[in-house]
Amino acid sequence: MDIIDLTIKAYFPLLLVSDKSKGPLTGDKFRHMQRNMLKRALLGTTGGAAAFLGACLYKQDEWTYANVLMPVVQIALDGEDAHRWGVWAASKNLFPKCNFTPTRSLMETKVWDLTFPNPLGMAAGFDKDGEGVEGIARLGFGFVEVGSVTPLPQPGNARPRVFRLYEDKAVINRYGFNSAGHEKVLQNVSEYIDKKRETPCILGINLGKNKTSSSAVDDYSKGVNTFFDVADYLVVNVSSPNTPGLRNLQARKELSELISGVTKARDLKCKDGSRCTPLLLKIAPDLTEEDKLDIADVVLVHKVDGLIVANTTVSRPDSLLSSNKNETGGLSGAPLKNLSTTVIRDMYKLTNGKIPIIGVGGVSNGADALEKIKAGASLVQVYSALTYQGPPLAKKILQELEELLKRIECKNVSELIGIDVEL
C-alpha cells in the first residue's frame, strides 16, 4: 500500500457518486478517480499553498501574519535585519493598503489644531530616517513619527543591538540613536511631502542629540530650525536609555534650561498670525514621584504643547521568561504596558489634564489603546507589537477600538480621554 493508498484510506471514506450517463462510480472505477484527484491535489500543494498564503497576506489576514509570516521572519532574520527589511518594504509601498476605514465621526481626533484621522500612530524608532512614511501610513495609521534624528549622522551602538523576547512579546534595543542626520532626513520627508500623497497623515519628527555633543540645547534647537516647516509636531526626546547622560536631562534644573532654550528657538520660527509647530516632550517610564512632579511643573511653566509617555524601560519585571531578558538596553512591548499606563495617568493628573498626552508602551489591541485613552492619552502609538503581529496590526487595533466605542455608544473617542482619572 503506497502513500496514495494510505491517504485515501485515512481521509476518503467510500462514497457513492452518481452520474446518470455513466452509472454509479463504485469499486475500481471510483478508486481510480479518487487516486487521480488526490495526485493532482498533492502535486498542486506547493503552488496552491503559496497562492493561498499570498491571498491571505494581501487581504491582511491577521492570523496568517501573526502565526505564519512573522514567526518565519523571526527564524530567518535577526531583529535588526527584520527591522531594516520592514523599513525598506515601507519605502517601496510593498505593504498592502489597509482595507478598513474608521468611522470619521467616531475616530477623528483634534489636538494642537491638527485633525488626526484616527488616534493611532506609529511610534518613533521604526522609521528613523523618514524613508517609509507613505508606506507606513498606508497600513492605517493616523500619524507617523520619524526619528529619533540627530544633527549629524551617527552609527549608534555596535551590533547586536536588538533582541526579541518571544515568550514575553517584548523587545530590548540599544540602538543608541543611529541616524542619517538632519540633512538626509529632511530630504526624505520633504520628498514625501512634495509628492502627491496617496495616504496623507500627520507627521511628527522626534529629535535627538549626538552622542558626543557638548550642548543639548544646541542640538535640539538645530532640530527645531531644520524641521519646523515640514513637521506637524516636534518631539524633544530626553528619555532614551541608550545615549549616555540623556535621561539626566529630565531632572528639574536641566530640563527647565533645555525646554526654555528649545521653546525660544521654536518661538523665533513662528510668524505672526501663523500656526507654531507644537513642541512635545518624550519622557521615560522609570521616574520617581518627585521626577514626575518636576516634569509636570516644567512643562506647565514653559507651556510645552504635549507629552509622549513613555519611552522604553530599563527595569526588568520578574515575570520575564526569555533568555534575552538581561540584555542591556530599553525594554518595550507587553511588559511595559501597565507601567506606561500608570505614568500616563500620573502625568495627566499632575498637569490637570491641560497637556495632551500621546500614550505608548505595550499596546497590541483595541482594549490596550482604550485603556491608555481612559488614563489620559489623547492619542496612542504602537511599535513593538508590529514585530509579532505584522502589518495588519493597525487595522486590527482600529477595528477593535471602534467596536468598543460603538458598544458603549460613544459619539467620539475624545469623550473618553482621562475618564478613569480623578482630577
Q: What is the pLDDT along the chain (423 residues), one digit of tens a residue?
A: 444 444 444 444 433 344 444 444 445 555 555 555 555 554 555 455 455 445 555 567 788 888 888 888 888 889 999 999 999 999 999 988 999 999 999 999 999 999 999 999 999 999 999 999 999 999 999 999 999 999 999 999 999 999 999 999 999 999 999 999 999 999 999 998 887 666 778 999 999 999 999 899 999 999 999 999 999 999 999 888 878 777 887 888 889 999 999 999 999 999 766 789 999 999 999 999 999 999 999 999 999 999 999 999 999 999 999 999 999 999 999 999 999 999 999 999 999 999 999 999 999 999 999 999 999 999 999 999 999 999 999 999 999 999 999 999 999 999 999 999 998
Domain that holds residue 19: 3-43
Domain containing residue 358: CATH number: 3.20.20.70
Same domain, 20 and 147: no
Same domain, 351 and 209: yes
Same domain, 170 and 249: yes
Please give the pLDDT value at position 249. 78
End-to-end, the C-alpha distance of the chain in Å comes to 77
Please give the pLDDT value at position 280. 98
Is 327 a member of any domain?
Answer: yes
Is 69 a member of any domain?
Answer: no
Same domain, 254 and 391: yes
Is 206 a member of any domain?
Answer: yes
Same domain, 129 and 263: yes
Spatial contact of 201 and 114, defined as CB atoms under 8 Å apart = no
Is 402 a member of any domain?
Answer: yes
DSSP-assigned beta bridge partners for residue 170: 165, 333
Is 257 a member of any domain?
Answer: yes
Same domain, 179 and 252: yes
Same domain, 189 and 253: yes
Same domain, 124 and 20: no
Same domain, 256 and 166: yes
Is 67 a member of any domain?
Answer: no
Spatial contact of 111 and 356, defined as CB atoms under 8 Å apart = yes
Is 59 a member of any domain?
Answer: no
- Catalytically annotated residues: 240
**Roughly what angle, to the nearest 10 degrees, separates helices 289-301 and 252-269?**
30
Same domain, 135 and 24: no
Q: Is there a cis peptide before residue 265, judged by omega within 30 degrees of 0?
A: no
Alpha-carbon distance of 265 to 261, in angstroms, equals 6
Give how many domains the chain has, as a whole number: 2
Is 57 a member of any domain?
Answer: no
- Cell 552609527 -> residue: 155
Give the three cell numbers for residue 230. 515640514
Same domain, 168 and 297: yes
Same domain, 170 and 242: yes
Please give the pLDDT value at position 3. 40
